[in-house]
Amino acid sequence: MINCSPKKAATPATTAAMTKETAQKQYTADQLASGQQLYASSCGTCHKLFKTEAFTDVKWHGILNRMIPKAEVSAADAALIRAYVIANAAAAQ
């Protein structure tokens, strides 16, 4: 039997696939700049604008999954916000 004990734990969340590094590679500087503007205009209305470096990429994914629906942005805008935040997240611990 070779498949009985998978070495890897189950993937925690699909979005966790995008790390700080992949976000920086996959999005252009223009897209990240748009994401920054959307972040500033959509994410500071209910509370202060959190510093992107305040959390790691993994932590941010969980937060964004809760906060993006609150911000009521389009799916395209949400993707840009996520890309900007993840690309500028704290270094993984």
Question: Residue 85 has which token pair?
Answer: 């935040």
Residue 58 in the binding site for ligand HEC (CB under 6 A): no
Residue 74 in the binding site for ligand HEC (CB under 6 A): no
CA distance 74 to 76: 5
How many residues does the structure list for the chain? 93
Residue 45 in the binding site for ligand HEC (CB under 6 A): yes
Residue 63 in the binding site for ligand HEC (CB under 6 A): yes
CA distance 20 to 92: 8
Q: 70, 46 in Cβ contact below 8 A?
A: yes
Residue range at the interface with ligand HEC (CB under 6 A); choices 1-9, 15-23, 27-35, 41-49: 41-49
Binding site for ligand HEC (CB under 6 A): 42-43, 45-47, 50, 63-64, 66-68, 70-71, 81
